[in-house]
Structure 1
Amino acid sequence: MAGAGDPSTVALPIKGACHCGAVTFEMSVQPRHAVACNCSICRSLGTVWGHGGPGTIVISAEPDATIRYSRGERQLAFHTCKICGSTTHWEAIAGDAKGRMAVNLCLAPPGTIEAIGLRHFDGAETWSFLD
């Protein structure tokens, strides 16, 4: 298994889909690392994120295929499939990160997270990586 400082190469694009297949994603670049965040929403959703800049992630779905959820400062919108309930991605809709996205790598093929390398992020308190 690759560690946080020693990522392996994964086949590109990285593809994934919600459980029913109504929402799919393709990521054209390998993220620096897979991120498990401990903030309240990420803990509740059970996600592991692969972050990408503008143009590196393509989401394919019918219009209104997802439920969009934002709270607090409303800088991020989390998208969940309306049919199967899988959280597929988030998008930054305001603030400095506007235009960035992340996909839920738990929906990618088995072994993807391990090949990239997993890091744990403290989104609950310190806003820094824990390793």
Structure 2
Amino acid sequence: MRFHTRKWVKPEDLNPNGTLFGGRLLAWIDEEAALYAIIQLENPKVVTKYMSEIDFKSSAKKGDIVEIGIEVVKFGKSSIVLKCEVRNKMTHETILTVDNIVMVNLDADGNSLPHGKSKVEFVKDRLGSS
């Protein structure tokens, strides 16, 4: 799994227990999944269709740094299915896992659009070798 993004847990990210608010973390994950899908599908119009069971395993406190990892599970006709792991960079513990996040590729009218992708591509692969 590739960990693309790090977030610093700030006071405004905390719940009443003084730990990272789950809703804030889910917003970060949703944004990361959307960015990943946009880059892979080469289309800025993607939406979250489905997120499977969210398994909270540990937490983070103010000042901790969390990393968000995304990996492709599979490519559908007009979708991409991702999985996610969030880990605490400070304690090395997994904070959360999500096995399936389905992102759907859309056309200009908001309808699902086949994307023709079947494997993960990296920007360097799209630019050609130098």
What TM bracket, shorter-length normalisation? under 0.3
Q: Which has the higher contact order (CA 8 A, sep 6+)?
A: 1
TM-score, normalization by structure 1:
0.27
TM-score, normalization by structure 2:
0.27
